[in-house]
Structure 1
Amino acid sequence: MSFLAMLGTALCSFILTIILTPFFMNYAHKKKAGQMIREEGPKWHEKKSGTPTMGGLVFDVVIVVTAIVVPLIMQEMTPQILILDFILALYGFLGFFDDSIKLLKKQNEGLKAWQKLLGQIIGGIIFLIVYQIEGLPFSLNIFGFEMNVAWIYALFVLFWLIGFSNAVNLTDGIDGLVAGQATIAFGAYAVIAYVQNQNDVLIFCLAVIGALCGFFLFNKKPAKIFMGDMGSLALGGGLAAVSILVHHELSLLFIGLIFVFETASVILQVISFKTTGKRIFKMSPLHHHFELSGWSEWKIDTIFWLTGLIMAVLSLWVIL
């Protein structure tokens, strides 16, 4: 895939996003579709209440359209890119329902946990069916060692898609954090896909990168719009699916280290509080702990992005 083709793919999704996002923001303002802020969250977040949410709708649509039109033009359409589009769209659809319920009820609670989980499992099963039909390896690449146990790998794929979908969702708590971190992670996998000559996966990653760069212009602090669950759930599912298709699944533990830390902080906080009655962090997920420690959102973003970038570069150095 030529440099011009790669640049054109990213630019296409970037331009579409910066054109469509203001229209969606205006619509959200008219409908008063603003974010509900967690009551137990940092008090200074209350001023963000009413900021348009569900911005993920814009970049989800842009990514799917770009990742269908570009492969058709370049004659690179494959079941792999279609299943990537499907996971992004389905998990985004779950997020849409979650966000919509929150807006209708004027509270920060949407779909029940089991409803969201059921949808994620169904998406994972469909992913696995396409994966098997395409004859892709049902083996887990454990840092060079292949574990060839199909049913274990199938369970792993479900866990990976669900786990990272929720991990990115948990990370989306301050302005611009997920947009920046997801761009870094998809950028790393774009490099891997390019080296592997997986143009279909590469096109998808470039479409995501372009769309997120466009969305970041509106989502950086002070955010004019939030991506909502519709954006974060879709990005997490898409990221996990990409790591599976390039067959470097466990690399996501390092390339997506920030997402892992954010999730681990929530798990550890719950375990500690339920077993000892004490909290490890001032608040979880981890970014809230640093906020309550006096860090500005920009400082948290910068440190987290830099950490993610270093881990992504180190991971590429090891893999490639």
Structure 2
Amino acid sequence: MYTLFLLILSAIISFIIAPLFMRLSYRFGFVDYPNHRKQHERPMPFSGGVSILVSFVITVIIAQPVEKEYIPIILGGTLIVILGVIDDKYDLKPSVKFLGQLVVISIPIFFGIIIDTINPFGITMNFGVFAIPFTFLWIAVIINAINLIDGLDGLAAGVSVIALSSIAFIGILQNNIFVMMISVILIGSTLGVLYYNFNPAKLFLGDNGSMLLGYVLGVLSILGFKNVTFFSILFPIIILGVPFIDITFAAVRRYREGVSLTRADRGHLHHKLQYIGFSHRESVILIYFMATLFAVATIILYLSTVTGAVLICILLVLSVVIIVEATDLIGSNKRPILNFLQKIFEKISS
């Protein structure tokens, strides 16, 4: 019941304060103006992340967790929102923005939140001197993966809520009360803002919001799965399957085309879904569905035997390949799996 109280409380707080920050954004010109590259037709406030952060911090203070890990989460979350606000306002160079992210990521590392070991197939592997660089890379990838999918109303917020729900559920199974509680509080804070961020949006998350969600997801993925003894490294990857797919194939696509990895384009999953005929809202809901499948698969994988886990991983890989081929996410006309399935269906129907 206390967990439900925290969920409702954080949602109510963010729901109430979001309009306040929207008005402040308009007053101080903290808005995203429409142009030829953007889909919105009027100035939109960038205040989503600030609203989530304030609600999250207030609720965490009320909850008073015993574990000290909440300190780097709140401190780092505050700094990543400040970085995002500056980026939203002044459009920082990618290199400066990335440097700022690394500074923020150093905070949980300083507090000992590090990926020092993984346990694939029950075999403990120690990263040794590579533990800190790998942790930097891990959290940075998640921050930017969530940042990159924030291209449609409600997309990054909704996908994050789904991922956090999976992390919270596994936290319950592990009796990891801290991870479960922080996940639930952030879910509520995000849901309160999602009401205003879903299509047609009244506010945007901005980089301050998407990077906040990515940062906390990155830290929670380390805290929540450090002691899992089987396929531990796969759980957060699968939970965040949609943003990981998008950022991975965005990198491959840009490398193939010989353009900078930091250059913006309209080749992301949500853009591809719109190109093949889905509306703005339909694209978001379809990606929600994909994210839910990945989240449920993670829970099943956590509860599975070795054989079941292997089968689930194979099915997930096939699903990813089909998604990539169907949406031409990689920018290639080669579709071996879809062509193979098409031949099978033709034989069955003939």
**Coarse TM-score class (shorter-chain normalised):** 0.7 to 0.9
Structure 1 position 285 matched with structure 2 position 268: yes
Q: Distance in 1 between matches of 2:257 and 2:160?
A: 30
Deviates more, 1:187-196 or 1:173-182: 187-196
Counterpart position of 1:28 = 25
Partner-residue secondary structure (3-state), 2:119? strand
Q: Does structure 1 retain, via aligned residues, the 8 Å contact 2:115–2:134?
A: no
Counterpart position of 2:110 = 129
Structure-1-length-normalised TM-score: 0.85
Matches within 5 A, 1:1-320: 4-37=1-34, 39-41=36-38, 45-47=39-41, 49-70=42-63, 72=64, 76-101=65-90, 110-131=91-112, 138-142=116-120, 144-246=122-224, 247=226, 248-274=232-258, 283-320=266-303
Q: Does structure 2 retain, via aligned residues, the 8 Å contact 1:170–1:263?
A: yes
Structure 2: give runs of 5+ residues left out of the alignment: 227-231, 260-264, 304-350
Q: Distance in 2 between matches of 1:308 and 1:295?
A: 17
Per the TM alignment, residue 86 of structure 1 is displaced from its structure 2 partner at its CA by: 2.5
Q: Distance in 1 between matches of 2:280 and 2:99?
A: 34
Per the TM alignment, residue 143 of structure 1 is displaced from its structure 2 partner at its CA by: 5.6
Per the TM alignment, residue 288 of structure 1 is displaced from its structure 2 partner at its CA by: 1.3
The Cα offsets for residues 191-250 of structure 1, whole Å up to 9 and x where unpaired, read as 122222222222211111001111111111100000100000110011011010112443
How many positions carry a matched residue from both structures? 292
Q: Percent identity?
A: 27
Per the TM alignment, residue 13 of structure 1 is displaced from its structure 2 partner at its CA by: 0.6
Q: Distance in 2 between matches of 1:224 and 1:175?
A: 9
RMSD: 2.0
Structure 1: give runs of 5+ residues left out of the alignment: 102-109, 276-281
Deviates more, 1:174-183 or 1:76-85: 76-85
Q: Does structure 2 retain, via aligned residues, the 8 Å contact 1:68–1:77?
A: no
Q: Distance in 2 between matches of 1:238 and 1:249?
A: 17
Deviates more, 1:118-127 or 1:12-21: 118-127
Structure 1 residues 25 and 311, CA gap change in structure 2 (3 angstroms):
same
Q: Distance in 2 between matches of 1:256 and 1:11?
A: 24
Higher relative contact order (CA 8 A, sep 6+): 1
Per the TM alignment, residue 165 of structure 1 is displaced from its structure 2 partner at its CA by: 0.3
Q: Does structure 2 retain, via aligned residues, the 8 Å contact 1:218–1:225?
A: yes
Q: Distance in 2 between matches of 1:87 and 1:176?
A: 24
Q: Distance in 1 between matches of 2:8 and 2:300?
A: 27
Q: Distance in 2 between matches of 1:141 and 1:87?
A: 27
The Cα offsets for residues 105-162 of structure 1, whole Å up to 9 and x where unpaired, read as xxxxx12222222222222222122116xxx772123364321122222221110111
The Cα offsets for residues 173-201 of structure 1, whole Å up to 9 and x where unpaired, read as 10111111100000111112222222222
Q: Distance in 2 between matches of 1:174 and 1:197?
A: 35
Q: Does structure 2 retain, via aligned residues, the 8 Å contact 1:33–1:50?
A: no
Q: Distance in 1 between matches of 2:204 and 2:119?
A: 36
Q: Distance in 2 between matches of 1:175 and 1:66?
A: 25
Structure 1 residues 46 and 212, CA gap change in structure 2 (3 angstroms):
closer
Structure 1 residues 168 and 144, CA gap change in structure 2 (3 angstroms):
farther
